[in-house]
Amino acid sequence: MRVVVRAFARFREMAGEEATLELPEGSTLADLLEEVVSSHPGLKKALSGPDGPIGGRAMVLLNRRGADPSDVLEEGDEVAILPPFSGG
Amino acid sequence: MAIEITDREFSIEDLVAGAKRPDAGAVVAFLGTVRDDGISGVEVEAYREVAEEELARIRDEAMATFDLKSVDVVHRVGSLGVGEAIVLIVATAPHRQAAFRGCEFVLEEIKRRAPIWKKEIRSDGGERWV
């Protein structure tokens, strides 16, 4: 199945704006993040934390909503990786 | 009421004039601008679809929490020079307390919750995400 990964701000500069990843059926969000950080080691530190792949100060959204690392992905899902916000 | 993320300049006067209404005796506007911290400007980036949803949610929460009549938010994206407007919030209410508090609430929640980022461009060409 194919899943779209979007990255923003400093993460976009590390990983590119958007990529489509091919993953085995049943893959979880944690599996996808492992795949992303293995291709972009600079992201590993930013996305790793004491709580697992989604931790620290970064945020990961699945289809524009909050998500859990154990969420099972489906064809066409959109995953976004977001550094800490600084708008306003 | 408007919620907008835009790469175009906006008119503060038009937004304030459009927000005025007979049942609101108070119109509070907050304008955030690019501060000269030894920089030439900023690049503003947003996860636009999510940021617009979040701004609308913040507006709805402010309307439900404070005695407001309207809330408008415009946030710029793209390249902005020192002194240019980044964000405008206009809150109207029958009385000033609600307008001030509502406006501040919206600003603080935008900073905390809206997926928007700024990169400082230094005068020497260096860059830094903030």
DSSP label at residue A50? T
**Residue B38 buriedness (CB in 10 A; 0-12 / 13-18 / 19+):** exposed
Whether B38 and chain A come into contact, CB under 8 Å, resolves to: no
Q: Please list every residue in chain A whose beta carbon sits closer than 8 Å to the beta carbon of residue B32.
A: 88
- Grouping H, G, I as helix, E, B as strand and the rest as coil, residue B82 is coil
Q: Please list every residue in chain B whose beta carbon sits closer than 8 Å to the beta carbon of residue A88.
A: 32, 75, 86-87, 107, 110-111, 114, 116
Asked if B94 contacts B69 with a C-beta cutoff of 8 angstroms, the reply is yes
The one-digit pLDDT tens for each residue of chain B (130 residues) are 799 999 999 999 999 999 999 999 999 999 999 999 999 999 999 999 999 999 999 999 999 999 999 999 999 999 999 999 999 999 999 999 999 999 999 999 999 999 999 999 998 989 999 9
pLDDT for A48 beyond 90? no
- Closest Cβ opposite residue A8 in set B53, B115, B118: B115
- Closest Cβ opposite residue A88 in set B53, B107, B129: B107
Asked if A60 contacts A81 with a C-beta cutoff of 8 angstroms, the reply is yes
- Each domain of chain A, given as residue ranges in start order, spans 2-82
DSSP label at residue A85? P
- Each domain of chain B, given as residue ranges in start order, spans 3-129
The pTM assigned to this predicted structure is 0.93
Q: Please list every residue in chain A whose beta carbon sits closer than 8 Å to the beta carbon of residue B105.
A: none
Looking at domain B3-129, its CATH superfamily turns out to be Molybdopterin biosynthesis MoaE subunit (3.90.1170.40)
DSSP label at residue B62? H
Q: Please list every residue in chain A whose beta carbon sits closer than 8 Å to the beta carbon of residue B130.
A: 86
- Nearest CA to B70 among B114, B110, B17, B109? B17
- Nearest CA to B75 among B36, B118, B40, B105? B118
What is the rounded distance in angstroms from the CA atom of residue B69 to the CA atom of residue B92? 5
pLDDT score for B71: 98
Query: For chains A and B, what is the number of CB pairs under 8 angstroms?
Result: 59
Whether A10 and chain B come into contact, CB under 8 Å, resolves to: yes
- A2-82 domain in CATH 3.10.20.30? yes
Asked if B128 contacts A86 with a C-beta cutoff of 8 angstroms, the reply is no
Asked if B121 contacts B43 with a C-beta cutoff of 8 angstroms, the reply is yes
